[in-house]
């Protein structure tokens, strides 16, 4: 085998090894810290929830949402978003709807 062929072969092996590691890692269960981070990111980026006041905790994939929001729609939407995050087994929605003076 020539040097160029050997380099291509080694490069291909490295790429395949990296892909294999990613595939194996994707099947691993998410840690609670990762779940909390993912839920927070999704809540914060949602235009309805605007997740700034919502606290997120997770224990063994069971997510608990707490804190105040302005509407029931925000509360329900937050739970719906959390349920869609990979690794979440259950959502306990303890968010409280607080009426503002304008409502």
- The domain tally of the chain equals 2
Q: Which pLDDT score is estimated for 3?
A: 72
Q: Which pLDDT score is estimated for 4?
A: 72
78 lies in the same domain as 92: yes
24 lies in the same domain as 36: no
* pLDDT greater than 70 at residue 79: yes
18 lies in the same domain as 68: no
Strand partners, 62: 59, 90
Residue 102 resides in a domain: no
Domain that holds residue 12: 1-29
Rounded Cα gap, residues 90 and 37, in angstroms: 16
Residue 23 resides in a domain: yes
pLDDT tens digits, one per residue of 12-57: 666 667 666 656 555 555 799 999 999 999 999 999 998 678 999 9
Q: Which two tokens stand for residue 79?
A: 């739970």
**pTM for this predicted structure:** 0.70
Extended beta strands in 1-103, E state: 55-59, 62-69, 90-97
At residue 38's C-alpha, the angle toward residues 34 and 55, to 5°, is 95
Task: Please check whether residue 65 is in contact with residue 82, taking contact to mean a CB–CB distance below 8 angstroms.
Answer: yes
48 lies in the same domain as 12: no
84 lies in the same domain as 73: yes
């Amino acid at each position: 085998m020539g040097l160029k062929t050997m380099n291509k072969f080694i490069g291909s092996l490295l790429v395949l090894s990296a892909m294999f590691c990613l595939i194996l890692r994707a099947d691993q269960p998410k840690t609670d810290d990762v779940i909390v981070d993912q839920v927070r990111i999704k809540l914060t980026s949602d235009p309805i929830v605007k997740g700034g006041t919502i606290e997120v905790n997770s224990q063994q994939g069971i997510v608990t949402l707490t804190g105040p929001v302005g509407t029931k729609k925000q509360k329900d939407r937050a739970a719906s978003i959390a349920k869609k995050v990979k690794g979440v087994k259950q959502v306990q929605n303890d968010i409280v709807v607080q009426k503002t003076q304008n409502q």
